[in-house]
Structures are given as C-alpha cells and as structure tokens.
Structure 1
C-alpha cells in the first residue's frame, strides 16, 4: 500500500479537504503532476482544472479549481486555490457564468497584457468545461 501524506485544499471561502492521501493529481501550469509521499519540495502555480485525490482508504474525490498555487513537501501538500468546488457540486450554469464573466473582462481590457491574460484564462476554462461537462 502506498505511503500517505497530509493534503489540504483551501479556497478563500473555506477548507474543502484536509485528510491523509496517497496520491493527488494537480493541474500545474507546466502540465498535470502527480504528488505522492516523499515528493521533492516544489511550489507550482495551478491552472483551472480538476484535482483528483486518492485518500488513504482508496476513495477518490475530485475538485474543480480555478487557479492558485500548490506548496509540496515530502510529508504534505497544500493547494491554495483562487476558487474551488467539489466536482459533483459544480453546475453547468456556474461554469458558463464564469466563462461569460471572463469574456466580458476580455472585451473591456484596456491593454494587450490584460486581454492576453483574459484570453488564456478563457481558454483554460473552456478546456475545463469540455473535460467535465458532457456535450
């Protein structure tokens, strides 16, 4: 059986998850990464995507995250999300509202940098939408 480590998923609103886990898959900015016990110390930014957690008992939970960063140590991993929700609780309407808000932000962007940042976030959100909501 795989060795466990402490995993916490925190959003500005609340602590969503705090348990021993054997594996956590994180949508890092450099690509998806799997965190397990004794992982090398790492800090990474998080893209919008799905975080999959395998608890010590073998149960799997998934969360939609909308940016943030993860602090990984050999015996723990803390993911500080800009916003997060259990995947089962994410509605199609909520995701569509987030996408529309970013589209409006993109249209109102005053400079190239702001528009480019909004375009990237919109791309990440639509990819997330395609991955978790059936057509």
Structure 2
C-alpha cells in the first residue's frame, strides 16, 4: 500500500476535507503539481483551478478553488483557499459571476500592471470554466 499523508482543504466558510490521502493534484501558480507522502517542504500560491484528491481508501474527490496557498510538508499538505467548493455540487454560477466582475474591473484598470494581472486572472477563470458544469 502506498504511503499516505494528512490533507486538509480549508475555505473561509468551512473545512472542505480533512483525510488521509495518497496523492493530491494542485493548481500551482506555475502549473499543476502532485503532492505525495514525504514531499519536500514547499509553500506555493494557487491559481483558480481544480484540486483532485486520491484518498487512502481509493476514492477520488475534486474541488474547485479560486486561488489560495498550499503548505506542503513530508507528512501533510494544507490548502488555504480563497474560496472552495465541492466540484460535484458546483453549479458554475459563482464562476460566471467572478468572470463578469473581473471583466468589469479590467475595463476600469488604471495601468498596464493592473491590466496584465486582470488579463491573467481572466485567462485562468475562463480556462477553469471549460472544466466545470455550466451555470
């Protein structure tokens, strides 16, 4: 049996999952990464995306997150998400609302730096939109 580690996904509203996991795929700011037991210590920012968790009992769970941070240690991984939702219960309305808000903010951008960051965020959100059920 593969080694396991403690995985916790926390959103501001609630604890979404706290379980023993075999592997967790995270949407890191520089690309997807897979965390397994005995991973080297690492902290990373997360972009909007899907977190996939393979639990110790073989089941898989998926969650939608809108950014956050991951704290990875050899014996555990904790994700503090800006916002997080169980993928099975996610209807897409929140994603559509965030895309519209980002577009409106992009139109009001006061400089190239702010516009670039908003363009990148919009790109991440629209990419995520292709992997979740429609609103």
Distance 1:45 1:125 in 2: 16
Q: Please list every run of 5 or more consecutive structure 2 residues that lacks an aligned counterpart in the other structure.
A: none
Distance 2:58 2:107 in 1: 45
Q: Does 1:87 align with 2:65?
A: no
Q: Does 1:124 align with 2:127?
A: no
5 Å matches for 1:2-41? 2-41=2-41
Distance 2:113 2:133 in 1: 30
Residue 52 of structure 1: aligned partner:
52
Distance 2:124 2:41 in 1: 26
Q: Does 1:70 align with 2:70?
A: yes
Matched residue pairs, number? 134
Post-superposition Cα deviations, 1:13-57, rounded to whole Å, max 9, x if no partner, equal: 111111111110001111111100000111111111000001111
Distance 1:70 1:106 in 2: 27
In 1, are the aligned partners of 2:92 and 2:132 still within 8 Å (CA)?
Answer: no
Q: Does 1:114 align with 2:114?
A: yes
Segments of 4+ in structure 1 off by > 3 A? none
Aligned-residue RMSD, C-alpha? 1.1
Distance 1:13 1:109 in 2: 30
Q: Please list every run of 5 or more consecutive structure 1 residues that lacks an aligned counterpart in the other structure.
A: none
SS of 2:71's partner is strand
In 1, are the aligned partners of 2:25 and 2:51 still within 8 Å (CA)?
Answer: yes
